[in-house]
Amino acid sequence: MKKNALKRLLSLALALTLALSLTACGSGEEEGTTEEDGTAPAETADTGDSEAWIALSMNAETLDLPKTTSLGCRQVSLGTVWERLVTLNSAGEPVPELCESYEMSEDARTFTFNLRHGVLFHDGSEMTADDVVASMNRWIENYSNVQTLVGSGRFEKVDDYTVSITADSPALTLPDMIAGATFCAIITTAEACADLTEDGYLKDYIGTGPYQFTEFVQDQYIRLDRFADYVPYGEEGYVDGMAGHKEASIQTLYYSYVKESTTRIAGLQTGQYDLIYSLSSDNFDVIANTAGMETQNEEAGALILIMNKVEGLCTDVNFRKAVNMALSMDDIMTVGYGSFYSLGSCYMDESNGFWLTDAGSECYNQGNQELAKEYLAQSSYQPGDVFTILTTNENNRDKLALVIASQLEAIGITCEVEAYDYPTMNSYSYDPTLYDMYVMSYSSVPLPTLKAYLGDGDGFWTTDETYLDYLAQFNQATTKEAAYEIWETIQAYCWEEYLPVINCGHYQECYAWNGSTLSNINIYNNIAHMWSATMS
């Protein structure tokens, strides 16, 4: 399908008109401060071959995935530009991607990865052990959770096509971390790893995926083009979760950040966009019942309230318990996600079946004002103390934060909601002097220890010795069954005693696309994987 600039400009005008008739609810996650239309300039819009335009509800400020947990960044580049040693199949299990196979020692300390031969980077060079070692060790240095797991262990070259790592203690879950961490373990060249900005970011996005980075026009779009020399793996037609034989039949992909739900929907209806993220529940039926349109929704993650346990009101566990006991989650989740959510105390999502547990559920979603007031009376809170809630003004986060505030004010807590654009809010979350609690959504991950908010890094302030000891036991388990028993203990302790965070519930992500022109969309792990898509 070929789209010229004139058509896009006319489509935009109609889209803005249609947007006025649609009700926005917004069900996406985080960030962004870009123009809402995201239309490419006329001189670059027409590639002369097939192109697809994808409207994101979250901004992608960088494609350096080991340096960010932003879902928008992964939606653009994970599986397209970047690949990993192992990736996730549809069961949430780590399976080979850039390696042919891997082995774990009996003591679960040493892992050996046998690399695929003949894999090419976008600069034309072949991937070897030197590149993998540099990339994986850079990932470890940027990710505190995996540092905790492997200790002083680092990747080493065995030969040109073999790498290994030996952890200080059992590291059973290392392959799961490589495949599923939101700080992604992407592979780039050794030269790119050595050529970084002053802030430690990649200067060049040189991956092994079926699409190569072409252009980043700030506040407008990111352009990826088919990598002609891509080396696929697996049998033709094989697609299993994030793993698969990647065809890249579409020549060019344009990713635009479009903040307003109504603008995304109207753009889909006019043909400005071929696929949109975060279709709101209020408008789901309109699109689902439109001829030619396709929709799909899946559980995507959880809405989490992060307590500041370094200083301020939330350093008092009784105050944290008062906040938790006062909250009625249906009211909060409805404002944030419409009907696209489910309630549940488990930190893990339904797609993570092995790790599901109801441990501590008796402390979830109580909405018990009397008990909340008892906890408040036992805390150090004084009338007039201001409880500061930090949030973003995007995707209805400010509105649901006001619902939280109203429920807390009903038990006598004076609240102040401070809402910012996502980048500002995210930067403020690292400064414990600026808030008592912040609101954030976290996408699904296949392993409990990949839940960033359960870690001890900046912004999460998890310092409880009992909790950290449980976490160490989990990391040192040598079987999944043993790890699960410890995980149940961790979740019960978090809800009943420590309460480092509050899980409000689990949200769904809804996607919509023009089925008359776009097909074979593979949606998994919060990403519409365009490497499997075809256009007519």
Rounded-to-integer distance, Cα 189 and Cα 451, Å: 28
CATH number at residue 31: 3.40.190.10
Q: Is the pLDDT of residue 30 over 60?
A: no
Same structural domain for residues 305 and 285?
no
- Pick 509 or 166 by higher pLDDT: 166
Decide if 198 is inside a domain: no
What local confidence, expressed as pLDDT, does residue 45 receive? 36
What local confidence, expressed as pLDDT, does residue 156 receive? 98
- Provide the residue range defining the domain that includes 330: 299-508
Which residue, among 320, 355, 327, has the nearest Cα to 343 in the 3D structure? 327
- Pick 455 or 311 by higher pLDDT: 311
For CA atoms 411, 414, 417, 418, give the dihedral sign: negative
Give the three-state DSSP class for 486: helix
For 426-459, what is each residue's pLDDT tens digit? 899 999 999 999 999 888 888 898 887 887 767 7
Which of left, alpha, beta for 497 (phi over 0: left; psi -120 to 50: alpha)? alpha
Contact (Cβ atoms closer than 8 angstroms) between residue 507 and residue 338: no
Q: Is the pLDDT of residue 11 over 70?
A: no
Same structural domain for residues 374 and 303?
yes
| Highest averaged pLDDT of the listed ranges 1-5, 116-120, 346-350 | 116-120
Same structural domain for residues 337 and 452?
yes
Same structural domain for residues 109 and 179?
yes
Decide if 201 is inside a domain: no
What's the pTM value of the predicted model, to 2 decimals?
0.81
Decide if 254 is inside a domain: yes
Rounded-to-integer distance, Cα 510 and Cα 490, Å: 31
Same structural domain for residues 325 and 461?
yes
For 202-216, what is each residue's pLDDT tens digit? 999 999 999 999 999
What local confidence, expressed as pLDDT, does residue 462 receive? 84
Return all residues near 200 (Cβ < 8 A) that are at least 6 apart. 67, 142
Decide if 389 is inside a domain: yes
Decide if 362 is inside a domain: yes
Residue 106 has a CB neighbour count (10 Å cut-off) of 7
Decide if 197 is inside a domain: no
Same structural domain for residues 288 and 151?
no
For 159-175, what is each residue's pLDDT tens digit? 999 999 999 999 999 99
Same structural domain for residues 275 and 231?
yes
Rounded-to-integer distance, Cα 41 and Cα 423, Å: 26
Same structural domain for residues 247 and 170?
no
Contact (Cβ atoms closer than 8 angstroms) between residue 161 and residue 100: no
For 197-250, what is each residue's pLDDT tens digit? 999 999 999 999 999 999 999 878 999 999 999 999 999 889 999 999 998 999
Contact (Cβ atoms closer than 8 angstroms) between residue 175 and residue 111: yes
Domain total of the chain: 3
Return all residues near 285 (Cβ < 8 A) that are at least 6 apart. none
Q: Is the pLDDT of residue 43 over 90?
A: no
Same structural domain for residues 473 and 331?
yes
- CA–CA distances in Å: residue 520 to residues 22, 247, 289, 440: 28, 11, 20, 32
Same structural domain for residues 427 and 316?
yes
Same structural domain for residues 223 and 329?
no
For CA atoms 275, 208, 100, 74, give the dihedral sign: negative
For 256-300, what is each residue's pLDDT tens digit? 999 888 999 999 999 999 999 999 888 888 899 999 999 998 888
Q: Is the pLDDT of residue 14 over 60?
A: no
For 111-126, what is each residue's pLDDT tens digit? 999 999 999 999 999 9
Q: Is the pLDDT of residue 41 over 80?
A: no
Decide if 117 is inside a domain: yes
Q: What value does the mean pLDDT take over residues 488-507?
A: 96
What local confidence, expressed as pLDDT, does residue 384 receive? 93
Q: Is the pLDDT of residue 143 over 70?
A: yes
CATH number at residue 446: 3.10.105.10
CATH number at residue 163: 3.90.76.10
Same structural domain for residues 67 and 216?
yes
Decide if 200 is inside a domain: no
